[in-house]
Amino acid sequence: MQTIPSVPSCLLPWLLALLLALPGQAGATEDLSDYVYPIEDPFEATVSGTPVELRHRFIKSKSMQRDNFELEVFPGRELPPLFDSVRSLAFSLAYQDVPAPLLFVIAGTGGSYRSSSSKYLQRVFYQAGFHVITLSSPSSHEFIAAASGSRYPGISEEDASDLYRVMQMALAQVRDLIAVTDVYLTGYSLGGLHAAFVSHLDEQEQAIGFRKVLLLNPPVSLYTSALLLDRLVGREAGMQDAHAYFSRLFGKFAEYFSEHGMIRLDDEAFMFKFQESEQSLTREELMALIGASFRLSAAGLVFTVDALNGTGQVVERDRELTLGTPLDPYFKRGLWWRFTDYFDRLLLPYWQARQPESKREQLIGRIGLPALRDYLETSSKIGVISNADEIILTPQDIDFLGSTFGSRATIFPRGGHLGNLQHRDYVARMLSFFGAVAGGS
Amino acid sequence: MHRLLPKSLLQTLPAIVLLAIAGCASQPVQAPSAEQPGLADPGFYTGMEESFRAPPGERSFFEVYDPWGPLNRKLYVFNSHLDHYVLLPAVQTYRKLLPGPVRQAITNFFANLNEVTTFINLVLQMKGVEALESGARFFNNTTVGVLGMFDVATRMGIPRHDEDLGQTLGHYGVGPGPYVVLPLFGPSSLRDTTGLVGDYAISWEINMFGARKAIWASIPLTALEVLDIRDNIAFSYGDLSSPFEYEMVRFLYLESRELEIRE
């Protein structure tokens, strides 16, 4: 709830002038040899993020102009009362007073339009002179309830057409408020994969016409990334140990408190201080932390899909979900599911019901960047940023990014999964790809 | 009136993740029976209950006692609407009207008022050094710091403590009891609600600066305090983007209270 500083409006015309004066820097590959990122372990990088002194700097001044909007994507859609609060799809717009380019940001797995990474990107690009709309991930419960045509998210093409519909509606809704010069697109993590498919769809439909598209640490094969994440918390081993493990973890936090007294956990550098203390988490603990965080997203996804389709895999078929229904048993069951369980037990049956001839491997092949290989190879407007130690990718996946995107791929040597998103070099690369000038630093 | 939500913990990944697993092993109350009519494939869940259970003899780490769950959940939704339609818009106006340093002075002022209950609770917990520090903070901030508007004590290096009656009760072994969602105040427990009432009675009796008992002053003052508290909470309903937000917040609240008590 801190006020978010941003560009003073008197500076905006000036920034915009700069922006117009310096077009076409995109594609220029930065020299990565100057890149400094101290964390060697990719799991620690993923949890801790970027040291404060290496972060992109914002202009600290008055708050950005930002409003939330709601879209009724499917008016009159029937939903259990439990989902009343997500009947319409909310999104956020940060807007300039002057004509400016518009950037769409698609959130990562299970993420909402106001997740911290979405807000961060919104601020970065707002200060660089963009209007910015952040959208929830098709895998989030709010998107599934309000905006998923099939209510089975995960099939990239279908997610993309849901997103594309939402984007057009959002554009229509904000048309009177802002003057848009060009439209750009980005997404992080799973949202990066979505961005590629949305861009591909846009080439056929021509309803928006994205000028440039940037994928931030996307999965290459969604199924492979799901497997990698599932393995961070094994069902048998991990969950069996969950009790002891989390007792120990909480014990460490408690110990840290008693040694350091009152500390602010929302301190941006907290994880760094914590990792330098005696209580620092081991690699295994960091892995389990990340795995569990994704597992939590999976639980929300599985529960929502099951509840909205009445498949009876999590919620008993005859059970009505109201605002007062205790969800504890469903939370527990949801956490039992891995992403790959979702694939095999919900997504694949849905797909095969419509495509009886289709094999499991075919679906796996459809949900990933390789399905768009030709398009990605030849389309000069699409770029990608990732890290060589990205935990959701295999070395083959990294090679795929390099060979497919060529000079449009930027692979930082370190950073884990989005651990370097706030790094000044990462931000500089994003901005230069879109031909923008940083508002800050 | 101390906190709507444990702001501190809510913001960190570890905490968020902890509660993930946490939700797992909660609810001895509503443990589903072996028979689950209407469930398509109950066999899929074989082994689930066992794997989430605490080993015998160990404190059940994830146990959450929430017998008033259905009512609590409705109040949670009520609070989210109150937040969305009343509190957040009010806070937005508050921020527009008052510049940062003024709001900081207001935050400091209320923190200084609460120093009194912190002091009393530190005494009740027989934490001598901390109580002295708290008393010194109050003395310096009230005088040099102009009725608490400037936190000079922190700059003088006197550490801040935050204790309430709920923590004191916890300190003496009183468990949280049933989880409670209070209208407006948000997550609490029977113990902490009791403590809240006690703390309020204390500050009413002490009647600092005559502020509490004079109706003309206490109503706008309470409104200001609500705005200040909300302004300083970095969490909004829906932030966790999960259908299980209630379960997560519940777990976070209870665990962070346990940490505060052990601290």
Q: Say if residue B43's pLDDT is above 50.
A: yes
Kindly calculate the radius of gyration of chain B based on its CA atoms and give it in whole angstroms. Answer: 21
Both tokens assigned to B40: 């398509």
What is the H or E stretch that residue A188 is in? strand A180-188
Supply A172's token pair. 């229509």
Under DSSP, is residue A63 helix (H, G, I), strand (E, B) or coil? strand
Residue A305 has pLDDT above 60, yes or no: yes
In whole angstroms, give the CA distance from residue B55 to residue B77: 35
CB A204 within 8 A of CB A124: no
The model's confidence at residue A235, banded by pLDDT at 50, 70 and 90, is low
User: Dihedral sign, CA of A68, B242, B190, B161?
Assistant: negative
pLDDT exceeds 50 at position A376: yes
Contact yes or no for A292 and B231 at CB 8 A: no
Give residue A149's pLDDT band: very low, low, confident or very high (50, 70, 90): very high
Q: Among all residues of chain B, which has the CA nearest to that of A249?
A: B18
Range in A23-32, A51-60, A257-266 the model is least confident about: A23-32
CA distance B238 to B158: 37
Strand A89-94 relative to strand A131-135: parallel, antiparallel, unpaired? antiparallel
Write the residue in B12, B69, B239 that is nearest to A265 by C-beta: B12
Q: Do A332 and B25 touch (CB under 8 A)?
A: yes
Where b means 16+ CB within 10 Å and e means fewer, A126-163 reads bbbbbbbbbbbbbbbbbbbbbbbebbbbbbbebbbbbb
The radius of gyration of chain A from alpha carbons, rounded to an integer in Å, stands at 22
Q: Which of residues 12-51 of A touch B (CB under 8 A)?
A: 47
Q: pLDDT band for position A8 (50/70/90)?
A: very low
Segment 104-163 of chain A within 8 Å of chain B by CB: 110-112, 114-115, 136, 140-142
Q: Is the pLDDT of residue B24 over 50?
A: no
Region(s) of chain A under CATH 3.40.50.1820: 9-222+367-433
A40-66 per-residue burial string, b: 16 or more CB within 10 A, e: under 16: ebbbbbbbbbbbeebbbebbeeeebbb
Residues of B within 8 A of A141 (CB-CB) are 241-243
pLDDT given for residue A262 in this prediction: 46
What percentage of chain A exceeds 90 in pLDDT? 67
How are beta strands A100-106 and A131-135 bridged, if at all? Answer: parallel
Residue A12 confidence (pLDDT): 36
d(CA A320, CA A327): 11
Looking at residue B233, its pLDDT comes to 79
Which of A272-276, B66-70, B210-214 shows the lowest per-residue confidence on average (mean pLDDT)?
B210-214
**Residue carrying structure tokens 């009520």:** B78
Q: pLDDT at residue A14 above 60?
A: no
Instruction: Look up residue B189 and give its two tokens.
Output: 């427990």
User: B28 in contact with A at a CB cutoff of 8 Å?
Assistant: no
State the pLDDT at residue A267: 57
pLDDT at B108 over 60: yes
Q: Report helix, strand or coil for A102.
A: strand
Query: Taking CB atoms and an 8 Å cut-off, how many pairs form between chains A and B?
Result: 210
> Hey, are the CB atoms on B8 and A265 less than 8 Å from each other?
yes
**Which of A242, A323, A326 is the closest to B21 by Cβ?**
A242
How many C-beta atoms surround the C-beta of residue A228 within 10 A?
Answer: 20
Supply the pLDDT for residue B3: 38
**Contact present, A144 and A308 (Cβ < 8 Å):** yes
The answer, for B92 touching chain A at a CB cutoff of 8 Å, is no
- Asked if B25 lies within 8 A of A327 by C-beta distance, the reply is no
Full DSSP string of B43-109: GGGTTHHHHHSPPTTS--TT----TTHHHHHHHHHHHHHHIIIIIHHHHHHHHHHS-HHHHHHHHHH
Quote the minimal CA–CA distance from B32 to chain A in Å. 7
Are B73 and A324 an interchain contact pair (Cβ–Cβ within 8 Å)?
Answer: yes
Task: Evaluate if residue A210 carries a pLDDT over 90.
Answer: yes
Question: Three-class SS of residue B177?
Answer: coil
Residue bearing the bigger pLDDT, B108 or A2? B108
Q: Are the C-beta atoms of A351 and A366 separated by less than 8 Å?
A: no
- pLDDT at residue B215, rounded to an integer: 66
Task: Return d(Cα B80, Cα B75) in angstroms, integer.
Answer: 8
Nearest chain A CA: its distance from B202 CA (Å): 24
**Average pLDDT over every residue of A352-363:** 92
E strand or H helix at A367, and its extent? Answer: none
List the single range of B33-37, B55-59, B105-109, B238-242 with lowest mean pLDDT.
Answer: B33-37
Amino acid A59: pLDDT:
85
Per-residue pLDDT band at A190 (split at 50, 70, 90):
very high
CB contact under 8 A, B13 and A289: yes
A29: distance to nearest CA of chain B, Å? 33
- Which range among A259-268, A302-311, B193-202 shows the weakest confidence by mean pLDDT? A259-268
Q: What six digits make up the tokens of B54?
A: 């605490």
In this prediction, residue A272 carries a pLDDT of 77
Are B160 and B154 a contacting pair, CB within 8 Å?
Answer: yes
Q: What pLDDT shows up at residue B31?
A: 43
Contact A335 B23 (CB under 8 A): yes
Instruction: Name the class of domain A9-222+367-433.
Output: alpha beta
Q: Look at B91 and A85 and tell me if their CB atoms are within 8 Å.
A: no
Q: Which residues sit opposite B182 in a β-bridge?
A: B186
A319 touching B (Cβ < 8 Å):
yes
Mean of the per-residue pLDDT values for chain A? 86
The verdict on a CB contact (< 8 Å) between A326 and B21 is no
Entry pTM: 0.85
pLDDT above 50 for A102: yes
Above 70 in pLDDT, residue A387?
yes
> Across the strands, what pairs with B38?
none
Interface mutation target, options A246, A260, A303, A311, chain B, most CBs of B under 10 Å: A246
B23 touches A at CB < 8 Å: yes
Percent of chain A exceeding pLDDT 70 equals 83
Going by C-alpha positions, the residue among B238, B55, B185 that lies closest to residue A136 is B238
A246 versus B175: which is more confidently predicted?
Answer: B175
Chain B 201-230, residues with CB within 8 Å of chain A CB atoms? 230
Of residues B53 and A99, more confidence is placed in A99
A residues 287-306 lying closer than 8 A (beta carbon) to B: 289-290, 292-293, 295-297, 299-300, 303-304
Q: Is the pLDDT of residue B224 over 70?
A: yes
* Highest mean pLDDT out of A45-54, A100-109, A245-254: A100-109
Q: At what angle do helices B13-24 and A328-336 cross, to 10 degrees?
A: 100
Q: Which residues of B touch A321 (CB under 8 A)?
A: none
pLDDT digits (tens, 9 = 90+) for A392-429: 999 999 999 999 999 999 999 999 999 999 999 999 99
Q: Suggest the residue from B13, B30, B98 to mutate for an interface test with chain A (most A CBs closer than 10 A).
A: B13
ipTM of the complex: 0.83
